[in-house]
Amino acid sequence: GLVFLVLLRLLIGFCVWFTVCLTILAFVVGGYLVFILSAQCEGAGLLESGIQAAVAITVAAHTAATDAISGSEDIPSEACNYGEKCRDYVGRQRYTRGGIKCADWETQTVFPSYRAANYAKLSPANTTLSYCRNPWKDGDTIAGNTIWCVTTDPDVKWQECTPIGVIQPACAKGYKIGTQQGRDALYYTSFVVWGLGVIWTIVIFCLINRIRLAIAINKVAASYLASNPFTLLIPIFQAVAAIIWCTGWFLLASFLLSQVPDGYTPKGAYATYAEAYGTSPGCAFWETGPECTGTPGECTNMWPTGSVWRDNNCDMTDPLNPKCWRCSPPRYVFD
């Protein structure tokens, strides 16, 4: 107990703020997952799609910040004609969809033929550098489906790219969510989740002083309990006393309820089950009417009712009409 109090005194602030940050992170991650699902391609995993979107967002943000700092006005277009497999692309994407940096076209050795001297889209070499392209010339038997580049990762020879600013590229093989309506619903839901996260963050900032006060109060309480450890026994004694009192109350209540008066249950015997138990209505539970009203028997004409049992030692006062059915008392009664 004392160790817990010491840890509480030292770590309560960290635990509270860590939990608060986790709740904010849950909104961010939850919205991001829904955002990814809204444009997940068929055959692509959620992790793969998430990495691609994260790379696209990071590269776009970095490029925008760099352009803003440099103040350059001569910025190449990131336009891409997907119908022509982006062969017209002249942008500045240097990273693949998987986040791998591209190698320089003139120095890469994976595809030595892809040089500025052989492909117009790679010329002049001092402007293409390591930017993603989809070079093509007459006579090529293999062509990329979109822009690509040779990577600097020795385990990945080449990989496709996405133009800067395109966060959710079109899926050539279709989408995981088949309908446009479903994808739109997920897309807008992601922004709703992020919006709720923003509101939650604002609430946290508005209550930050109260949270600090609550942390301080808990620290003071922990210090007090550490100085007066016997105080910890008070709730234990209270709990034990409450358990004992409730147990006794339940036992006494059960005992009193189970005491059925001697004259409550008929002691006679009856010739038929219907006479003892009565008749049940032959209707479904939703049907009503006089014909759906049962007739109570001698054993069931009071509430709480008992049950009926058959005695093998029948009352043979009338040999032609033996009485074998008797009443059993209910489990409880109310005075």
Number of domains in the chain: 2
Beta strand extents in 88-152 (DSSP E only): 148-150
Residue 146 located in a structural domain: yes
First to last CA, the chain: 49
Q: Find the helix or strand (DSSP H, E) in which 295 lies.
A: strand 295-296
State the pLDDT at residue 6. 65
Residue 38 located in a structural domain: no
Residue 132 located in a structural domain: yes
What is the rounded CA–CA span in Å between residue 18 and residue 249? 44
Residue 3 located in a structural domain: no
- What are the pLDDT digits (tens) for 225-248? 777 878 778 888 999 999 999 999
Residue 304 located in a structural domain: yes
What is the extent of the structural domain holding 314? Answer: 273-328
Residue 161 located in a structural domain: yes
274, burial (CB in 10 Å: exposed 0-12, middle 13-18, buried 19+) = middle
State the pLDDT at residue 126. 64
- What are the pLDDT digits (tens) for 172-203? 788 888 899 999 999 999 999 999 999 999 99
Domain endpoint, select from 134, 159, 176: 176
What's the pLDDT band for 205 if we cut at 50, 70, 90? very high
Domain endpoint, select from 148, 176, 204: 176
What CATH code is carried by the domain that includes residue 167? Answer: 2.40.20.10
Domain endpoint, select from 149, 176, 203: 176
Mean predicted confidence (pLDDT) in 116-136: 82
Mean predicted confidence (pLDDT) in 138-162: 88
Residue 201 located in a structural domain: no
pTM above 0.75, yes or no: no
State the pLDDT at residue 204. 95
State the pLDDT at residue 4. 66
Residue 130 located in a structural domain: yes
Q: In the numeric block, which tokens belong to residue 76?
A: 């190449």
